[in-house]
Amino acid sequence: MVVVAEQNVGIDVSAATLSVEIEVDTGLVQRLEFANEAKGHKALIKRLKKAGRPTRICLEATGIYSLDLALALDHAGLEVMVVNPKVAKRFAEAFGERSKTDRLDAGVLRQFARRMPFEPWRPPSPQRLQLRSITRRIDSLVRTITQEKNRLHAASVSSLTAAVRNDIRQHIAQLRRHVESLRQQALSLIDSSPELRRMLRRIRAIPGFGPVSSLQILGELGVLPQDMTPRQWVAHAGLDPRQYESGTSVRRPARISRAGNRLFRAPLFMPALVAARHQPHVAAFYQRLLARNKKPLQAIVAVMRKLLHAIFGMLRHNEPFDGSRLFSTPTP
Protein backbone atom coordinates (compact mmCIF):
# COMPACT_ATOMS: atom_id res chain seq x y z
CA MET A 1 0.00 0.00 0.00
CA VAL A 2 1.41 3.36 -1.02
CA VAL A 3 1.23 6.11 1.56
CA VAL A 4 0.38 9.54 0.22
CA ALA A 5 2.99 12.22 0.76
CA GLU A 6 0.55 14.51 2.50
CA GLN A 7 -2.37 13.99 4.83
CA ASN A 8 -5.33 15.79 3.22
CA VAL A 9 -8.11 16.66 5.63
CA GLY A 10 -11.58 18.14 5.11
CA ILE A 11 -13.52 19.54 8.07
CA ASP A 12 -17.17 20.52 7.95
CA VAL A 13 -17.79 22.93 10.83
CA SER A 14 -21.16 23.31 12.55
CA ALA A 15 -22.11 24.97 15.81
CA ALA A 16 -21.83 21.75 17.84
CA THR A 17 -19.69 19.29 15.88
CA LEU A 18 -16.79 18.90 13.47
CA SER A 19 -17.26 16.32 10.74
CA VAL A 20 -13.76 15.27 9.64
CA GLU A 21 -12.57 13.22 6.69
CA ILE A 22 -8.87 12.23 6.60
CA GLU A 23 -7.06 10.69 3.65
CA VAL A 24 -4.99 8.09 5.50
CA ASP A 25 -3.80 6.20 2.39
CA THR A 26 -4.32 6.41 -1.36
CA GLY A 27 -8.00 5.78 -1.93
CA LEU A 28 -8.61 5.15 1.78
CA VAL A 29 -10.25 7.71 4.05
CA GLN A 30 -11.22 7.83 7.70
CA ARG A 31 -14.31 9.68 8.90
CA LEU A 32 -14.41 11.05 12.41
CA GLU A 33 -16.49 13.46 14.47
CA PHE A 34 -15.39 15.81 17.23
CA ALA A 35 -17.17 18.30 19.44
CA ASN A 36 -16.76 21.89 18.27
CA GLU A 37 -15.29 23.09 21.54
CA ALA A 38 -11.86 23.41 23.10
CA LYS A 39 -11.73 19.71 24.12
CA GLY A 40 -12.81 18.60 20.66
CA HIS A 41 -10.25 20.86 18.99
CA LYS A 42 -7.52 19.40 21.20
CA ALA A 43 -8.55 15.82 20.37
CA LEU A 44 -8.65 16.61 16.64
CA ILE A 45 -5.19 18.18 16.71
CA LYS A 46 -3.80 15.16 18.58
CA ARG A 47 -5.25 12.82 15.93
CA LEU A 48 -3.89 14.87 13.03
CA LYS A 49 -0.40 15.06 14.50
CA LYS A 50 -0.35 11.33 15.16
CA ALA A 51 0.38 10.61 11.47
CA GLY A 52 3.71 12.43 11.67
CA ARG A 53 3.55 13.75 8.10
CA PRO A 54 2.64 17.02 6.36
CA THR A 55 -1.02 17.85 6.74
CA ARG A 56 -3.22 20.01 4.50
CA ILE A 57 -6.48 20.97 6.19
CA CYS A 58 -9.40 22.60 4.41
CA LEU A 59 -12.52 24.05 6.00
CA GLU A 60 -15.18 26.58 5.06
CA ALA A 61 -15.44 30.10 6.44
CA THR A 62 -18.50 29.74 8.66
CA GLY A 63 -18.18 32.70 10.99
CA ILE A 64 -17.04 32.41 14.57
CA TYR A 65 -17.20 28.59 14.58
CA SER A 66 -14.62 28.16 11.81
CA LEU A 67 -12.50 31.05 13.10
CA ASP A 68 -12.01 29.48 16.53
CA LEU A 69 -11.07 26.14 14.97
CA ALA A 70 -8.70 27.75 12.46
CA LEU A 71 -6.98 29.62 15.29
CA ALA A 72 -6.55 26.41 17.29
CA LEU A 73 -5.12 24.53 14.28
CA ASP A 74 -2.77 27.39 13.41
CA HIS A 75 -1.58 27.69 17.01
CA ALA A 76 -0.78 23.95 16.92
CA GLY A 77 1.44 24.46 13.89
CA LEU A 78 -0.92 22.82 11.38
CA GLU A 79 -1.45 24.43 7.98
CA VAL A 80 -5.07 25.24 7.30
CA MET A 81 -6.87 26.71 4.30
CA VAL A 82 -10.18 28.52 4.88
CA VAL A 83 -12.29 28.71 1.74
CA ASN A 84 -15.35 30.76 0.85
CA PRO A 85 -18.50 28.56 1.12
CA LYS A 86 -19.55 29.57 -2.39
CA VAL A 87 -16.22 28.41 -3.81
CA ALA A 88 -16.60 25.06 -2.03
CA LYS A 89 -20.16 24.74 -3.32
CA ARG A 90 -19.09 25.31 -6.92
CA PHE A 91 -16.27 22.82 -6.47
CA ALA A 92 -18.80 20.24 -5.24
CA GLU A 93 -21.08 20.93 -8.21
CA ALA A 94 -18.16 20.43 -10.58
CA PHE A 95 -17.79 16.93 -9.11
CA GLY A 96 -21.48 16.29 -9.63
CA GLU A 97 -22.26 16.34 -5.92
CA ARG A 98 -25.83 17.55 -5.45
CA SER A 99 -26.60 16.31 -1.93
CA LYS A 100 -25.49 18.22 1.15
CA THR A 101 -24.69 16.58 4.48
CA ASP A 102 -21.91 17.20 6.99
CA ARG A 103 -20.22 13.97 5.95
CA LEU A 104 -20.39 14.76 2.23
CA ASP A 105 -19.20 18.33 2.81
CA ALA A 106 -16.15 17.08 4.71
CA GLY A 107 -15.33 14.82 1.76
CA VAL A 108 -15.66 17.69 -0.70
CA LEU A 109 -13.32 19.83 1.40
CA ARG A 110 -10.78 17.00 1.58
CA GLN A 111 -10.86 16.77 -2.21
CA PHE A 112 -10.46 20.55 -2.39
CA ALA A 113 -7.32 20.36 -0.22
CA ARG A 114 -5.97 17.53 -2.39
CA ARG A 115 -6.66 18.99 -5.83
CA MET A 116 -6.59 22.79 -5.53
CA PRO A 117 -3.64 25.15 -4.90
CA PHE A 118 -3.15 25.33 -1.16
CA GLU A 119 -3.35 28.86 0.24
CA PRO A 120 -2.44 28.88 3.95
CA TRP A 121 -4.74 30.90 6.17
CA ARG A 122 -3.23 33.85 8.00
CA PRO A 123 -4.75 34.55 11.42
CA PRO A 124 -5.81 38.12 12.26
CA SER A 125 -3.95 40.04 14.94
CA PRO A 126 -5.16 39.65 18.56
CA GLN A 127 -6.35 43.28 18.55
CA ARG A 128 -8.54 42.71 15.50
CA LEU A 129 -9.98 39.54 16.97
CA GLN A 130 -10.79 41.38 20.20
CA LEU A 131 -12.42 44.20 18.26
CA ARG A 132 -14.66 41.84 16.31
CA SER A 133 -15.64 40.07 19.51
CA ILE A 134 -16.66 43.40 21.07
CA THR A 135 -18.57 44.70 18.03
CA ARG A 136 -20.45 41.41 17.68
CA ARG A 137 -21.43 41.59 21.32
CA ILE A 138 -22.64 45.15 20.75
CA ASP A 139 -24.75 43.97 17.81
CA SER A 140 -26.27 41.22 19.94
CA LEU A 141 -27.15 43.68 22.73
CA VAL A 142 -28.63 46.20 20.29
CA ARG A 143 -30.89 43.50 18.85
CA THR A 144 -31.94 42.57 22.38
CA ILE A 145 -32.77 46.23 23.06
CA THR A 146 -34.98 46.26 19.97
CA GLN A 147 -36.77 43.12 21.19
CA GLU A 148 -37.32 44.69 24.60
CA LYS A 149 -38.69 47.86 23.00
CA ASN A 150 -41.17 45.74 21.08
CA ARG A 151 -42.18 44.00 24.30
CA LEU A 152 -42.62 47.36 26.00
CA HIS A 153 -44.86 48.55 23.17
CA ALA A 154 -46.91 45.36 23.44
CA ALA A 155 -47.08 45.77 27.21
CA SER A 156 -48.51 49.28 26.83
CA VAL A 157 -51.55 47.92 24.99
CA SER A 158 -51.97 44.67 26.93
CA SER A 159 -52.93 43.68 30.42
CA LEU A 160 -49.36 43.45 31.70
CA THR A 161 -48.80 45.11 35.04
CA ALA A 162 -46.92 48.34 35.63
CA ALA A 163 -44.23 46.29 37.42
CA VAL A 164 -43.51 44.37 34.21
CA ARG A 165 -43.37 47.53 32.11
CA ASN A 166 -41.01 49.14 34.63
CA ASP A 167 -38.79 46.04 34.61
CA ILE A 168 -38.53 46.19 30.81
CA ARG A 169 -37.58 49.88 30.94
CA GLN A 170 -34.90 49.16 33.52
CA HIS A 171 -33.55 46.32 31.40
CA ILE A 172 -33.37 48.56 28.32
CA ALA A 173 -31.49 51.21 30.31
CA GLN A 174 -29.07 48.58 31.63
CA LEU A 175 -28.45 47.19 28.14
CA ARG A 176 -27.77 50.69 26.80
CA ARG A 177 -25.15 51.22 29.51
CA HIS A 178 -23.49 47.95 28.54
CA VAL A 179 -23.49 48.95 24.87
CA GLU A 180 -21.92 52.31 25.63
CA SER A 181 -19.28 50.69 27.84
CA LEU A 182 -18.39 48.20 25.11
CA ARG A 183 -18.16 50.96 22.51
CA GLN A 184 -15.73 52.86 24.70
CA GLN A 185 -13.65 49.70 25.11
CA ALA A 186 -13.67 49.19 21.34
CA LEU A 187 -12.54 52.77 20.74
CA SER A 188 -9.75 52.39 23.30
CA LEU A 189 -8.62 49.22 21.56
CA ILE A 190 -8.64 50.99 18.19
CA ASP A 191 -6.74 53.94 19.64
CA SER A 192 -3.95 51.58 20.73
CA SER A 193 -3.42 50.43 17.13
CA PRO A 194 -2.23 52.99 14.54
CA GLU A 195 -3.51 50.78 11.71
CA LEU A 196 -7.00 50.34 13.17
CA ARG A 197 -7.09 54.05 14.00
CA ARG A 198 -6.26 54.89 10.38
CA MET A 199 -8.92 52.49 9.08
CA LEU A 200 -11.63 53.92 11.32
CA ARG A 201 -10.72 57.49 10.33
CA ARG A 202 -11.02 56.63 6.64
CA ILE A 203 -14.40 54.91 7.06
CA ARG A 204 -15.80 57.74 9.19
CA ALA A 205 -14.87 60.21 6.43
CA ILE A 206 -17.29 58.55 3.97
CA PRO A 207 -20.61 60.43 3.77
CA GLY A 208 -23.28 58.52 5.66
CA PHE A 209 -20.99 56.56 7.97
CA GLY A 210 -21.52 57.54 11.58
CA PRO A 211 -19.73 56.27 14.68
CA VAL A 212 -21.99 53.21 15.08
CA SER A 213 -21.90 51.88 11.51
CA SER A 214 -18.18 52.67 11.15
CA LEU A 215 -17.28 50.74 14.29
CA GLN A 216 -19.47 47.79 13.33
CA ILE A 217 -18.06 47.40 9.84
CA LEU A 218 -14.46 47.84 11.03
CA GLY A 219 -14.99 44.97 13.48
CA GLU A 220 -15.89 42.67 10.59
CA LEU A 221 -13.49 43.78 7.86
CA GLY A 222 -10.57 43.92 10.29
CA VAL A 223 -10.33 40.11 10.36
CA LEU A 224 -10.65 39.58 6.59
CA PRO A 225 -7.59 38.20 4.76
CA GLN A 226 -5.39 40.93 3.33
CA ASP A 227 -5.32 39.34 -0.12
CA MET A 228 -9.09 39.47 -0.69
CA THR A 229 -10.33 41.43 -3.72
CA PRO A 230 -13.20 43.95 -3.74
CA ARG A 231 -15.42 41.36 -5.46
CA GLN A 232 -14.62 38.88 -2.71
CA TRP A 233 -15.57 41.50 -0.14
CA VAL A 234 -18.91 41.93 -1.92
CA ALA A 235 -19.48 38.16 -1.96
CA HIS A 236 -18.48 37.88 1.70
CA ALA A 237 -21.09 40.50 2.54
CA GLY A 238 -23.73 38.61 0.52
CA LEU A 239 -24.25 41.60 -1.79
CA ASP A 240 -23.33 39.75 -4.98
CA PRO A 241 -26.22 39.36 -7.46
CA ARG A 242 -27.67 35.90 -7.98
CA GLN A 243 -29.25 35.00 -11.30
CA TYR A 244 -32.01 32.40 -11.58
CA GLU A 245 -32.77 30.88 -14.95
CA SER A 246 -34.30 27.56 -15.91
CA GLY A 247 -34.61 26.61 -19.55
CA THR A 248 -35.97 29.34 -21.79
CA SER A 249 -39.11 30.27 -19.86
CA VAL A 250 -38.11 30.85 -16.25
CA ARG A 251 -36.09 34.03 -15.73
CA ARG A 252 -36.47 35.58 -12.32
CA PRO A 253 -35.09 39.02 -11.48
CA ALA A 254 -31.57 38.99 -10.04
CA ARG A 255 -31.36 39.33 -6.28
CA ILE A 256 -28.49 39.57 -3.82
CA SER A 257 -27.32 36.20 -2.63
CA ARG A 258 -27.48 36.98 1.13
CA ALA A 259 -25.10 34.04 1.42
CA GLY A 260 -22.48 36.10 3.20
CA ASN A 261 -21.86 37.77 6.54
CA ARG A 262 -24.94 39.67 7.75
CA LEU A 263 -22.84 41.68 10.19
CA PHE A 264 -20.68 42.87 7.29
CA ARG A 265 -23.71 43.72 5.15
CA ALA A 266 -26.11 45.35 7.62
CA PRO A 267 -23.88 48.34 8.63
CA LEU A 268 -23.82 49.45 4.98
CA PHE A 269 -27.57 49.94 4.62
CA MET A 270 -28.17 53.19 6.54
CA PRO A 271 -24.97 54.86 5.22
CA ALA A 272 -26.12 54.00 1.70
CA LEU A 273 -29.51 55.62 2.35
CA VAL A 274 -27.89 58.77 3.73
CA ALA A 275 -25.30 58.99 0.95
CA ALA A 276 -27.96 58.48 -1.73
CA ARG A 277 -29.74 61.58 -0.43
CA HIS A 278 -26.93 63.90 0.56
CA GLN A 279 -23.73 63.02 -1.34
CA PRO A 280 -24.02 64.54 -4.86
CA HIS A 281 -22.16 61.83 -6.78
CA VAL A 282 -23.87 59.00 -4.91
CA ALA A 283 -27.25 60.67 -5.40
CA ALA A 284 -26.59 60.95 -9.14
CA PHE A 285 -25.71 57.27 -9.32
CA TYR A 286 -28.83 56.37 -7.33
CA GLN A 287 -31.13 58.48 -9.50
CA ARG A 288 -29.62 57.03 -12.66
CA LEU A 289 -30.50 53.55 -11.47
CA LEU A 290 -34.05 54.63 -10.71
CA ALA A 291 -34.27 56.08 -14.21
CA ARG A 292 -33.35 52.63 -15.51
CA ASN A 293 -36.45 51.24 -13.77
CA LYS A 294 -34.55 49.79 -10.84
CA LYS A 295 -36.57 49.55 -7.65
CA PRO A 296 -35.42 51.83 -4.80
CA LEU A 297 -34.17 48.87 -2.74
CA GLN A 298 -32.22 47.52 -5.72
CA ALA A 299 -30.62 50.92 -6.20
CA ILE A 300 -29.68 51.14 -2.51
CA VAL A 301 -28.08 47.69 -2.67
CA ALA A 302 -26.04 48.87 -5.67
CA VAL A 303 -24.93 51.89 -3.62
CA MET A 304 -23.95 49.53 -0.78
CA ARG A 305 -21.73 47.61 -3.19
CA LYS A 306 -20.15 50.83 -4.47
CA LEU A 307 -19.47 52.02 -0.93
CA LEU A 308 -17.83 48.70 -0.13
CA HIS A 309 -15.59 49.16 -3.15
CA ALA A 310 -14.83 52.68 -1.94
CA ILE A 311 -13.83 51.42 1.51
CA PHE A 312 -11.58 48.81 -0.07
CA GLY A 313 -9.79 51.37 -2.24
CA MET A 314 -9.43 53.91 0.56
CA LEU A 315 -7.93 51.39 2.98
CA ARG A 316 -5.73 49.70 0.40
CA HIS A 317 -4.24 52.97 -0.93
CA ASN A 318 -4.70 55.10 2.20
CA GLU A 319 -6.65 57.75 0.29
CA PRO A 320 -9.62 59.92 1.30
CA PHE A 321 -13.10 59.36 -0.07
CA ASP A 322 -13.64 60.81 -3.53
CA GLY A 323 -17.14 60.30 -4.89
CA SER A 324 -16.14 61.35 -8.40
CA ARG A 325 -13.89 58.30 -8.70
CA LEU A 326 -16.77 55.92 -8.17
CA PHE A 327 -19.81 57.76 -9.48
CA SER A 328 -20.57 59.96 -12.46
CA THR A 329 -20.33 63.71 -12.01
CA PRO A 330 -23.77 64.96 -10.95
CA THR A 331 -25.61 67.21 -13.34
CA PRO A 332 -25.95 70.82 -12.16
3-state secondary structure of 113: helix
Measured distance CA(295)–CA(256) in Å, rounded: 13
CA distances for 180 relative to 44, 175, 183, angstroms: 39, 9, 5
pLDDT for the residue numbered 328: 61
Secondary structure tally for the chain: helices H, strands E: 13, 7
Mean pLDDT of the 305-318 span: 93
Rg, C-alpha atoms of the chain = 23
| Cβ neighbours for 87, distance < 8 A, ≥ 6 positions apart | none
Task: State the DSSP H helix or E strand holding residue 156, giving kind and residue range, or none if neither.
Answer: helix 126-156
Number of neighbouring beta carbons within 10 Å of residue 50: 9
Sort residue 328 into left (φ over 0), alpha (ψ -120 to 50) or beta: beta
In this prediction, residue 258 has a pLDDT band, given cuts at 50, 70 and 90, of low
Each residue's pLDDT tens digit, 260-271: 688 899 999 999
- Residue 31 scores a pLDDT above 50: yes
Using one digit for the tens of pLDDT, what is the confidence trace for 208-231?
999 999 999 999 999 887 777 888
Q: Taking the complete model, does pTM exceed 0.85, yes or no?
A: no
Mean pLDDT, the chain, as a whole number?
86
